[in-house]
Amino acid sequence: MDIRILHLIDGAKEAEGLTVIIDVFRAFSLECYLYAKEVECIIPIGNIEDAYALKKENKDRILIGERNGRKCEGFDYGNSPSQIIDAPLKGKTIIHTTSAGTQGIANAKKSDEIITGSFVNAKAVAEYIKRKNPEIISLVCMGNRGIREAKEDTLCACYIKSLILNEDLDIANKILLLKEDGGEHFFDPKNQDVFPEEDFWMCTKLNIFPFVLKVKKDAMNRDIIVKEDICVN
């Protein structure tokens, strides 16, 4: 396998083969928690105006997303897993837009297949890739707003690569280092309304979800994200 680690929106545009769009803090960690809550499906959207238009089509859809970390105006929830954990979302269709993660999906036009990646389902992602055995794997680290590298996304890409290649990586200790270098904003008392500390811990749990999230097309040729269960040893 040719495993490539790419970065930011430019990296998404370059991605080929089986592409994993990685956003640890917080888009694709959040989406795993949403599927654990048994949502019906997730529609990833790059543009906020398109998100509003989809909501207007069907008032029962739930708007979730952020810009610069903050909940978008008029949205039901922000991009925080800890703030949706008790929300009544079973069976709901989610419209999700973020500054980084969903932008990666929107820009990965050259990919043969797109899945998402985060620490919470990294082992399932690696197992899925090994079973598919593609010639090219693009691990795209979306970073901060898709324009500045983020250590948590790069670390997640390295972890997924190590799992694919059956290599050892001291991932637990490296994640702890993110508290002071990469995830420190979650521990700032002034940021708790936007970046709750609990989000850090929820997004850095390892391999708690045995499924991958795949980007498919619906009947209207629109991107949707669906869950596929994976048997992980």
- The SS3 assignment for 149 reads coil
- The SS3 assignment for 43 reads strand
pLDDT, tens digit only, all 233 positions of the chain: 999 999 999 999 999 999 999 999 999 999 999 999 999 999 999 999 999 999 999 999 999 999 999 999 999 999 999 999 999 999 999 999 999 999 999 999 999 999 999 999 999 999 999 999 999 999 999 999 888 999 999 999 999 999 999 999 999 999 999 999 999 999 999 999 999 999 999 999 999 999 999 999 999 899 999 999 998 87
Task: Please measure the distance between the N-terminal and C-terminal CA atoms of the chain and give it in whole angstroms.
Answer: 22
What are φ and ψ of residue 129, in 5° steps? -65, -45
Domains, the chain, in order of start with CATH, read 2-229 (3.90.1560.10)
199, containing H or E segment: helix 197-203
